[in-house]
Structures are given as structure tokens and as C-alpha cells.
Chains A and B, each alone.
Chain A
Amino acid sequence: MTKYLLDKFLYTVDRDPDLVERYRDDPRATVEWWEAERANAVLNCHTGEASTWQRFTDAEREALAGHDYPALFELGAHPFLTLTLFIAMFERDHDEPLAFQKEYAVRLAHFALPYPDIAT
């Protein structure tokens, strides 16, 4: 489990307007590019150094590439990060206010307490 790296993807994409659109339009290629080029960047640090060991599991990569937010919930991605980014990508496709947020809840309805652990 590398919940931290899942969260890092969601966090870094969410804060970049261009990446939000790129991830919406071409998720698999964006995830593969990000894992190759960005996963090892040490955030809030100068760019001369990087980590060497960050890598998604296959299940994590597939969940991200499939925009599969129920799977991300199951994997323990931080729910605030997932929700915020997916609202940014998909709220616009719904006419009614909060329609996407309500659909999101319905698609997670099979989860009962205790929810998957989000501790990193």
C-alpha cells in the first residue's frame, strides 16, 4: 500500500489548473506521465533533489487511470482530496447543484463503518 503516493497524485493535480484538465481528458496517460516524471519530486523542496523509490501499486494505478473514485476510497486515499479533485473535473457535467456530489455518495453507498483506513 502506498496511500501516500495516491494522496500525492491527487494533491498535486488538484492544485494545478492545467493538470486538472489533462487528468480529466486523458487519465491513463496523465497517470503514467505523472508516475514517471513527478512521483519522486519532493514537494516544497528545491528541485535539485528527488526521491528514488515512489511507485504505485497496480491497483492504485488502475484506480487513478479509471477515474474510479469508489476504488480510491477502498484503497484509503484521503477522501477530501479525492472529492475535491473529482468535483473540479466532473461537477460541470451536471445541471443541478450538488448533483455530482450526491451521485458520488450513492456510488459509495456499499461502504459501511469502519471505512478504509486513510492513515499514511
Chain B
Amino acid sequence: MAEIVAVIASTHHPFYYRASTSTGADRPPFADEWVAKIERFRETLTRARPDVLVMVGSDHFHQLWLDNMPQFLVGKAPFYDANWYNEEREFGLPRMLLQGHEELSAHILRQGLDSGFDLAFSNELRIDHSVTCPIITLRPEADLPIVPIYTNIFAPPLPQPSRFVQLGKAIREIVEGWPSDQRVAIIGTGHLSLELGGPRQFGPHGPDPEFDRRAVDWIATGDLDGCLAEVTLDSLHSPGNATHGFMDFMLMMGVAGEGRKADYVDSLDLFHTMEAYFTWYPDGVDQ
């Protein structure tokens, strides 16, 4: 059976690419520290020697739109073009082409449907920065096939937080049951407290540092009970109007497992939002 060699959860900050590649007067003062942290984080994936990446993210009204909005969608295509005109315009993100892994996509879809998740699918999916940011930070060679899984954290009505956790647990079991000798890393990105298009946006820190501190603790310690006891669809409005992206972190806590402490934890307090990076090795890792 396939081996899950790493589970990784991260924020996805679209400004990283530009910050890390800018030079001279254009280079922001926080860029060097940010790059150093990302390179250490990247090493946690490299060390696991994955063959294929399952990538959990969320479309930001690029391909998925309100006339036909899936809650959970699995890409099943041989290739995925990536990044969009407005991401190029606002963030300077490059156009990318990633290889797909249709066999693993088909396995996740079949097993997901058979275990109670009515997953949507797409055979032609142009992915956005929720998936390409972790490619840029964790695997900039972009040389591994991916299976993208999109969640709706963006267009209410949203699924409940507990559903994200359940889906994460199911993805873990489904990938572990894949009859293959491939080494799989499961990577998901979301947000801590975040405000976009509201009065608390683009402050000197994230909109709710106390929420961020507690969220990092929930994730780092695998405290799903504590997290689920406090986080609801209503409560997530309070830390910032885009904080529902935290539910993708909750999905990844489901993948990592109840009570499972992260093997690697780091964070970076930036303007606008806090960055956070977590890696778990289900079966350990070669040093």
C-alpha cells in the first residue's frame, strides 16, 4: 500500500513569491527572515522524499463560481495549468504547469464517494495560489504529480468545521489504502485570522493575534477536541472576515490525526496575517 511520508499544513501567502525574488530597494525588510524560514520548512518535505503530492486548497473565485459551486472537489486530470491573470496582476505570480496523477485522483474519488463524501470532480482545472503557493514554497521545482482537492471556505453556505475534519480523516485512510508503492505527501493550506476587504485588513499584524496563538497551539498539539469545541461557522467571523480558511487547517489536523503533535512547527508574524508552518511524519523520517 502507499505510504504517507509527510503531512504538511501551511498558510498560503501570495506575496511570498514577489518578496522572495525581489532585490535591492524593492526587497521588503522582512524578506530574508521569511525566506530562511521557508527554506527550513521546505527541507521537511524534501527529507520525506515524496513521489506524489495531494494538495488541499481553495479556489478564490477563479474557476469555481456561484452558478455551480461545489463544496469539496477533486481534480482528475493529466495536467493542471496554474495561476490566473488577476494573480499575475496583483501578486506577480508566474504561470505554471503541473502534472496530475489520475490514478490517485480516481482512487480518492471512488473511495470518497463510497465512504459518504459526495465529492465533485473536474477533468479540466486551472488551479490558483492556494495550491501554487505551497508548490513555490515547498517544492519550487514543481516536478511531482499532484492531486488537487478544493474545499469551499469562501462562498457561504459552507460545510461545518467538523466536516472538514471528517474529510481529512477520510483522505488519510483513503490514501493509506491506495494499492501502490508510491510515497505520498498530503499538503494543505489555509489561513489563521485574516481580514480581506474589511476594516481590519492590512494591519501591522493579523487581525486577531490571540486567535492565532490559540490556533497554532491547537494545530501543533493535534487538539481537535479543543478546536472543535470552540470553532463554529459563526465564531470564525470574529477573528477576521476571511478566517473560514482556517477550516483547511482543521482538515489537515484530521489528516494528521487526533492528538498527534506536529514534528515541525514554525510561524512568522507578518503585517496583515501570521504565517504558520507544520509538518507531521506519520512513520518517522530519515535524518
Which residues in A have some Cβ–Cβ distance to B below 8 Å?
4, 7-8, 11, 14-15, 17, 42-44, 73, 78-84, 87-88, 98, 101-102, 104-106, 108-111, 113-115, 118-120
What would 23 A/B residue contacts be, using CB atoms closer than 8 Å?
A7-B66, A14-B86, A17-B85, A43-B65, A44-B67, A73-B198, A79-B197, A79-B241, A80-B61, A80-B197, A81-B61, A87-B90, A98-B202, A101-B201, A104-B201, A105-B198, A105-B202, A108-B199, A111-B199, A114-B237, A115-B241, A118-B156, A120-B155
Contacts of A111 in B (CB 8 A): 198-199
CA distance A114 to B198 in the complex (A): 12
Q: Output the least CB separation between B248 and chain A (Å).
A: 15
CA distance A118 to B197 in the complex (A): 12
Contacts across chains A and B counted by CB atoms under 8 Å? 78
Q: Is the interface of A mostly helix, strand, loop or mixed?
A: helix
Does B196 reach chain A (CB closer than 8 Å)?
yes
Q: Is the interface of B mostly helix, strand, loop or mixed?
A: loop
Does B139 reach chain A (CB closer than 8 Å)?
no
Q: Which 6 A-B pairs have the closest CB atoms?
A: A79-B197, A83-B197, A108-B199, A119-B156, A101-B202, A109-B199
Which residues in B have some Cβ–Cβ distance to A below 8 Å?
60-61, 65-68, 84-86, 89-90, 154-157, 196-203, 237-238, 241-242, 271
CA distance A113 to B85 in the complex (A): 33
CA distance A98 to B201 in the complex (A): 10
CA distance A43 to B61 in the complex (A): 12
Minimal Cβ-Cβ distance residue in A for B65: A43
CA distance A113 to B238 in the complex (A): 7
Minimal Cβ-Cβ distance residue in A for B87: A84
Q: Output the least CB separation between B34 and chain A (Å).
A: 15
